Amino acid sequence: MILDDFLYFNEIGLYCKYGDFYIDPQQPVKTAVISHAHADHSVAGNNEVYCTEATAAFMKLRYGKNAAKALNISAYHQAFDLGGVKITFISAGHILGSAQILMEYNDIKYLYTGDYKLQLDNTCEPTEWVKTDVLITESTFANPGITHPDPVTEIQKLNDIKINILLGAYSLGKSQRLIKLINEHAPQKTILVHHRIMPINAIYEKMGFSPGKYQVYGRKLMKNQLEYVYIVPPFTFDSYIGATGVKRLFASGWKNLQVNQNDTLYISDHADWNDILQAIEYTQPQQVWTLHGDGSYLRKHFGDAIIVKLLN
């Protein structure tokens, strides 16, 4: 029997009382299962963390000794037990080391997707699927009016821009994906990288996911118009709002983060409407629980065919 209260939100985060652990808690807890290393999913200061090797490496880079008192690393498909709940990490395809969290309890399977995408990304492990009784899916873009364009077509837009480009992107995951895409589909560009992105790239390379050619940014270089693409994190991008001699672009699936109407770069690391429908088809759940967005469109789409419960 599916337990309606198997996962629920309290003031700290998403809690499983049956195994006494939190998933991606927003505050430090005794036991946390972390899906991936983006800061909104992996806070510092937890007592005990369970995650993949790459997630642990990124957390240690960001938080140092405060990453957790104990980091328990598990490979994909390597099951472990927490309080009687069997847990297995399944690749989510979001960023390097990102994991869906399969939880099995009393012969019922609950699959928490975390953030995921279905688009090809050669800088992280591809998305995998397993059948489940309950699919707990992010619904960031769960709107039939939202479909993500082909990332190759989007990155090829850079070929038509002949001046230097200031390209805003999140340091972890998006920057490495952009470097790879530019190397493959706009190879005449020279990629410069903000110094804060460099140690993240080093982890990618150590784990066998090199994004390709790039070099650390130098101020003198950008004074020349040699089709440089300078990739910077959001805070730096915002501080360069008055930059001259460059085309400013921000890579995101969100319309409100596009900085001009004529030149957009819609590259998202999340599932869109069609991806979520595919995820449901692949996993064949009896119920779909949604979080991190509005699941009301899914409830309307499926009607009584699948029970859709909104967790947030």
Provide the pLDDT confidence category of residue 224 given band limits of 50, 70 and 90: confident
Check if the beta carbon of residue 13 is closer than 8 Å to that of residue 7.
no
Answer yes or no: do 129 and 222 share one domain. no
Q: Is 232 exposed, middle or buried (0-12, 13-18, 19+ CB in 10 A)?
A: buried
- Can you tell me the distance from the alpha carbon of 240 to that of 89, in angstroms, rounded to the nearest whole number? 40
Does residue 123 lie within any of the structural domains?
yes
Q: What is the DSSP letter of 125?
A: P
Does one domain contain both 114 and 182? no
Whether residue 127 lies inside any domain: the answer is yes
What is the percent of the chain with per-residue pLDDT over 90, rounded to a whole number? 87
Look at the block and give the residue holding tokens 């309890």. Answer: 105
C-alpha–C-alpha distance, residues 82 and 79, integer Å: 10
State residue 137's pLDDT score: 97
Average pLDDT, the chain: 95
Specify whether 138 is located in the same domain as 157.
no
Domain membership of residue 262 (yes or no) is: no
pLDDT tens for each residue of 119-144: 999 999 999 999 999 999 999 999 99
- Do 285 and 235 belong together in one domain? no
Residue 36: inside a domain, yes or no? Answer: yes
Domain identity same for 246 and 282: no
Q: What CATH code is carried by the domain that includes residue 46? A: 3.60.15.10
Residues 227 and 103 in one domain: no
The pLDDT tens digits of the residues spanning 175-198 come to 999 999 999 999 999 999 999 999
Taking the complete model, does pTM exceed 0.85, yes or no? Answer: yes
Q: Is the residue at 49 inside a domain?
A: yes
| Beta bridge partner(s), residue 77 | none
Find the angle CA(134)-CA(88)-CA(306) to the nearest 5 degrees.
Answer: 10
Look at 279 and 261; give whichever has higher pLDDT.
Answer: 279
| pLDDT tens by residue, 139-151 | 999 999 999 999 9
Sheet containing 215-216: give its strands across: 215-216, 190-193, 228-232, 164-168, 246-250
Whether the pLDDT of residue 257 is over 90: the answer is no
| CATH code of the domain containing 159 | 3.40.50.10710
pLDDT band at 220 (very low <50, low <70, confident <90, very high): confident
Number of domains in the chain: 2
Whether 82 shows a pLDDT value over 80: the answer reads yes
**264 assigned to some structural domain:** no
Domain that holds residue 122: 8-144+270-310
More confident residue, 38 or 219: 38
pLDDT at 210: 97
Same domain, 46 and 67: yes
Kindly report the backbone phi and psi dihedral angles of residue 138, in degrees, each rounded to the nearest multiple of 5, phi listed first. -65, 150
* Sheet arrangement for strand 85-91: 80-82, 85-91, 99-105, 108-112, 134-138, 287-291, 307-310
Amino acid 242: pLDDT? 75
Q: Are residues 216 and 282 in the same domain?
A: no
| Statement to judge: residues 174 and 230 lie in one domain | yes
| 261 has a pLDDT exceeding 80 | no
Question: Are residues 139 and 278 both part of a single domain?
Answer: yes
Which residues are 307's β-sheet partners?
287
240 confidence band (pLDDT: 50, 70, 90): confident
pLDDT score of 55 = 98
pLDDT tens-place string over residues 154-167: 999 999 999 999 99
Q: Is the pLDDT of residue 312 over 80?
A: no
**Same domain for 93 and 237?**
no
Q: Find the mean pLDDT for residues 242-264.
A: 88
**Is residue 178 domain-shared with residue 67, that is, in the same domain?**
no
pLDDT of residue 297: 95
Q: Is the pLDDT of residue 113 over 80?
A: yes
Q: Is residue 1 part of a domain?
A: no
CB atoms within 10 A of CB 126: 13
263 part of a folded domain: no
Q: What is the pLDDT of residue 292?
A: 87
pLDDT at 173 over 90: yes
